[in-house]
Amino acid sequence: MRPETTIPVVRRIPTNRDDAFAFTIEGHLSSADIENVYGLLEAAYEQHDKIDLLVRLDGYEGFDWNAAFKDTTFAMQTRSLKHIRRYAIVGGPAWVNACVGLLKPFLSIEMKTFDSAEEAEAWAWIGAAEVRE
């Protein structure tokens, strides 16, 4: 359990488009964190048939493997495939890029990985911008 004073592992990044969603992920994703992300995406799918998604992996430390293979998580992942147009992943470990390369031929969504230094290109690729508050 995380102390109350720590930054949440998953934080939403405001964007300039209603149908563009972005998150930053820092630290280790627990089962609750994964369900939180999919809950936020489910709410987006209620408003928009298709969305563009950017995920920034700053300080990403992996995820709870048990959560990734739960029936409910798998169902949420499958539903996401119907609603995402473009999915940009910024930063993260090298294995993320390798996994995207392996999965792309089997998915109906456009996925692309970017180095942390290429974040501006990732935003341009999904056609959105971060709104700084």
- DSSP per-residue letters across 70-129: SHHHHHHHHHHHHHEEEEEEEE--HHHHHHHHHHGGG-SSEEEEE-GGGHHHHHHHHT--
d(CA 87, CA 52): 6
Domain coordinates of the chain in residue numbers? 10-126
Name the pairing type of β-strands 27-29 and 10-13. unpaired
Q: Which CATH class name applies to 10-126?
A: alpha beta
CB-neighbour burial class of residue 82 (10 A; exposed 0-12, middle 13-18, buried 19+): exposed
Beta bridge partners of 10: 25
Answer yes or no: is pLDDT of 80 > 80: no
Q: Which pLDDT does position 94 carry in this prediction? A: 83
- Determine which of 18-27, 42-51, 57-66, 98-107 has the lowest per-residue pLDDT on average: 57-66
